């Protein structure tokens, strides 16, 4: 009973919040509803008894969306609405609708199958984290390691892109100030 | 009291009713809010004594009623929303800070568990648990919830159409992205030793007296966690978000009245949460026998005092220094610490 109430509550809230994310023209509303929706998705994991995954969802998305916010801060005035440039609304509608339809079909298909069994069911007595770890380091070891390698590559390339003047302190770097001064002198 | 806490979390679950959890939630809300208010007074007194001042003295004995005066002031002040601000986000931002701080407290052990005596009508015989929501992954949940709490300052700064506010919000993001890695990695080493994410298991692991406290096995992790905890609660060496001398009041510049007060209740509740985590994970936690609960209160009080002490003795640091410290110093140390711990466990 509690589960059903909680499920419908979380469903309505999540769908509503993500609708706001898509439809709102205000970057602050869009980001905030995205963050709130991601946090609420962890509720589904808790209802399913997958506490560990729920908390991972919480921790990961709170941090990830915080990084998105900082981009929004750099590029937009958060207190004003954004004028969107929709050059071809019909194409957007068709492509978006089609991909949404395909996704719904993909995820709804298992409803009509009886052959679904959990290959690695949860064990009573040992915690969630252990179960996830077992599956990660047996069946999904190679994808796991490949993902780790990709993240390492991404991190190194990020450092190389950003780290051209790493040995100089940003606050002590006076090159920008010098540039401004020379421009003033020219005037 | 004798049947619980010492045992595994699973054994306590059947006793806990929704009424007990509800009572616990009310107790946490009431007591921690009161402590948060009292904390501001203690902070001013401690800072004053360390700087050879007297602090608040005029209202009541030793200025004790200053608390009530401040409370009345906060509640009766006009609730101002700036003209160009994003009204809705501006108004919910303080609630996010306060709410997430209390949600985090729901998964840590606060006060001993007890059964309400039978002679009290309606509530008699209800068992009130020590941890309102005894999750098996308590530590991760608390850290995640405290991280979500930083959305309060972020949204507040971004919605208020004020340059100091937006700088405060940018600093929130910088601070969050810096310390979060250190918090997670520093606490990972003790988690590997104990082999569980539950506060109850951490507590049981260290029941053998002072010698079995995890601080002796993990001194590096303890120091790292403490530093990250200061950053997590915006305490002084890392209180970039509201550095009065640089950004007026940062994210809180445009706030007044109770909305401003809610940021502070959230901050003090977070201080208490970090203190409890440090006490349970590294300093042996609580014990159920006798006056064992007094000791965890003393430990928590010590960490609370430490935060005030550091505020009195250390200057602020700049945002780039914080990033430098977290990414270039603390994170490698934390990684090496994890590596050494793993090698020791395997050997």
Q: Does the CB of A69 have a partner CB in chain B at under 8 Å?
A: yes
Inter-chain touch B84–A63, beta carbons under 8 Å: no
* B284: helix, strand or coil: coil
Residues of chain B with C-beta less than 8 angstroms from the C-beta of A28 = 86, 89, 155, 158-159
What distances in angstroms separate CA B148 from CA A48, A162, B69, B212, B332, one per listed residue? 22, 27, 31, 33, 25
Residue B123 has what pLDDT?
A: 67
Residue A142 has what pLDDT?
A: 92
Q: Which of A95-99, A165-169, B104-108 has the lowest mean pLDDT?
A: A165-169
Q: Does the CB of B318 have a partner CB in chain A at under 8 Å?
A: yes
Residue B125 has what pLDDT?
A: 66
Looking at per-residue pLDDT, the higher value among B105 and A149 belongs to: A149
* Cα Rg, chain B, nearest whole Å: 21
Inter-chain touch B147–A129, beta carbons under 8 Å: no
Confidence of residue A135 (pLDDT cuts 50, 70, 90): confident
Residue B333 has what pLDDT?
A: 92
Residues whose CB is less than 8 angstroms from the CB of residue A22 and which lie 6 or more positions away in sequence, other chains included: A30
Residue B12 has what pLDDT?
A: 44
Residue B103 has what pLDDT?
A: 87
Q: Which of A1-15, A62-76, B210-224 has the lowest mean pLDDT?
A: A62-76
Residue B345 near residue B192 (C-beta atoms within 8 A): yes
Looking at per-residue pLDDT, the higher value among A177 and A56 belongs to: A56
Residues of chain B with C-beta less than 8 angstroms from the C-beta of A171 = 318, 320
pLDDT at A153 over 90: yes
ipTM given for this complex: 0.75
Looking at per-residue pLDDT, the higher value among B312 and A102 belongs to: A102
pLDDT at A147 over 90: yes
Inter-chain touch A169–B320, beta carbons under 8 Å: yes
What whole-number percentage of chain A has pLDDT above 90?
17
Give the distance from residue A51's alpha carbon to the nearest chain B alpha carbon, in angstroms.
7
Exposed (0-12), middle (13-18) or buried (19+): which is B241, by Cβ within 10 Å? Answer: buried
In whole angstroms, what is the distance from residue B48 CA to residue B63 CA? 12
Inter-chain touch A58–B173, beta carbons under 8 Å: no
Q: Does the CB of A39 have a partner CB in chain B at under 8 Å?
A: yes
Confidence of residue A148 (pLDDT cuts 50, 70, 90): very high
Inter-chain touch A56–B140, beta carbons under 8 Å: yes
Tokens of B45: 């007194």
Residue B7 has what pLDDT?
A: 41
Residues of chain A with C-beta less than 8 angstroms from the C-beta of B148 = 39, 58, 62
In whole angstroms, what is the distance from residue B294 CA to residue B99 CA? 27
Looking at per-residue pLDDT, the higher value among B210 and A23 belongs to: A23
Tokens of B71: 């409370």
What is the residue-level pLDDT of chain B in tens, covering all 347 positions? 333 444 444 444 446 677 777 888 888 888 888 888 888 888 888 888 888 888 888 887 888 888 888 888 888 888 888 888 888 888 888 898 888 888 888 888 777 666 676 666 666 667 777 777 777 788 888 888 888 888 888 888 888 888 888 888 888 888 888 888 888 888 888 888 888 888 888 877 877 777 778 788 888 889 999 888 888 888 878 877 777 777 777 788 888 888 888 888 888 888 888 888 888 888 877 776 666 677 778 888 888 899 888 888 888 888 888 888 888 889 999 999 999 999 988 88
Inter-chain touch A127–B136, beta carbons under 8 Å: yes
Q: Does the CB of A34 have a partner CB in chain B at under 8 Å?
A: no
Q: Does the CB of A55 have a partner CB in chain B at under 8 Å?
A: yes
Residue B16 has what pLDDT?
A: 67
Inter-chain touch B140–A39, beta carbons under 8 Å: no
Inter-chain touch A66–B150, beta carbons under 8 Å: yes
Q: Does the CB of B150 have a partner CB in chain A at under 8 Å?
A: yes
Inter-chain touch A73–B158, beta carbons under 8 Å: yes
Residues of chain B with C-beta less than 8 angstroms from the C-beta of A69 = 154, 158, 169, 173
Residues whose CB is less than 8 angstroms from the CB of residue B93 and which lie 6 or more positions away in sequence, other chains included: B151, B152, B153, B155, B156, B159
pLDDT, mean of residues A116-128? 70
Confidence of residue A103 (pLDDT cuts 50, 70, 90): very high
Exposed (0-12), middle (13-18) or buried (19+): which is B245, by Cβ within 10 Å? Answer: exposed
B120 CA to centre of own chain = 33
Inter-chain touch B180–A129, beta carbons under 8 Å: no
Residue B196 near residue B202 (C-beta atoms within 8 A): yes
Tokens of A80: 């004003």
Q: Does the CB of B145 have a partner CB in chain A at under 8 Å?
A: yes
Tokens of B241: 């978000």
Q: What is the mean pLDDT of chain A?
A: 82
Give the distance from residue B211's alpha carbon to the nearest chain A alpha carbon, in angstroms.
28
Q: Where are the domains of chain B?
A: 80-111+135-346
Q: Where are the domains of chain A?
A: 1-81, 140-187
């Amino acid at each position: 009973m509690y589960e059903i109430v909680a499920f419908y509550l979380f469903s309505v809230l999540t769908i509503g919040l993500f609708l706001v994310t898509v439809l709102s023209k205000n970057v602050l509303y869009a980001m905030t509803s995205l963050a709130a929706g991601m946090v609420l998705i962890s509720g589904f994991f808790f209802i399913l008894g997958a506490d560990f995954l729920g908390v991972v969802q919480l921790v990961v998305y709170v941090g990830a969306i915080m990084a998105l916010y900082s981009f929004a801060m750099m590029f937009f005035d958060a207190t004003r609405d954004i004028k969107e440039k929709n050059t071809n609304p019909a194409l957007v509608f068709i492509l978006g609708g089609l991909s949404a339809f395909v996704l719904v079909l993909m995820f709804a298909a298992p409803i009509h199958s009886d052959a679904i069994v959990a290959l690695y069911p949860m064990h009573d007595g040992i915690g969630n984290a252990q179960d996830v770890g077992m599956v990660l380091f047996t069946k999904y070891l190679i994808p796991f390691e490949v993902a780790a390698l990709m993240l390492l590559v991404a991190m190194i390339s990020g450092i190389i892109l950003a780290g051209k003047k790493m040995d100089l302190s940003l606050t002590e770097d006076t090159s920008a100030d010098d540039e401004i001064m020379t421009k003033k002198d020219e005037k | 009291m004798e049947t619980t806490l010492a045992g595994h979390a699973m054994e306590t679950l059947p006793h806990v009713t929704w009424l007990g959890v509800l009572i616990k939630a009310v107790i946490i809300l009431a007591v921690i809010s009161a402590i948060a208010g009292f904390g501001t007074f203690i902070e001013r007194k401690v800072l004053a004594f360390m700087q050879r001042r007297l602090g608040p003295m005029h209202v009541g004995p030793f200025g004790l009623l200053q608390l009530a005066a401040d409370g009345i002031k906060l509640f009766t002040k006009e609730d101002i929303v700036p003209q160009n601000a994003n009204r809705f986000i501006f108004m919910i931002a303080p609630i996010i800070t306060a709410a997430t701080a209390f949600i985090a407290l729901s998964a840590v052990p606060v006060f001993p568990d007890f059964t309400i005596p039978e002679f009290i009508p309606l509530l008699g015989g209800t068992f009130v648990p020590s941890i309102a929501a005894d999750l098996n992954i308590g530590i991760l949940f608390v850290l995640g919830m405290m991280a979500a709490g930083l959305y309060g300052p972020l949204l507040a700064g971004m919605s208020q159409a004020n340059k100091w506010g937006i700088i405060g919000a940018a600093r929130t993001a910088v601070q969050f992205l810096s310390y979060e890695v250190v918090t997670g990695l520093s606490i990972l080493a003790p988690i590997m030793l104990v082999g569980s994410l539950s506060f109850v298991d951490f507590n049981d692991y260290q029941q053998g007296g002072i010698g079995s406290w995890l601080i002796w096995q993990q001194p590096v992790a303890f120091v790292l966690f403490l530093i990250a905890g200061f950053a997590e609660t915006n305490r002084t060496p890392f209180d970039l978000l509201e550095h009065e001398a640089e950004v007026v009041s940062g994210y809180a510049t445009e706030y007044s009245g109770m909305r401003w007060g809610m940021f502070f209740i959230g901050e003090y509740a977070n201080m208490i949460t970090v203190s409890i985590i440090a006490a349970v994970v590294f300093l042996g936690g609580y014990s159920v026998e006798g006056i064992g609960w007094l000791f965890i209160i003393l430990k928590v009080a010590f960490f609370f005092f430490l935060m005030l002490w550091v505020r009195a003795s250390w200057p602020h640091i700049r945002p780039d220094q914080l990033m430098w410290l977290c990414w270039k110093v603390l994170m490698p140390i934390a990684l090496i610490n994890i590596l050494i711990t793993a090698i020791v466990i395997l050997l």
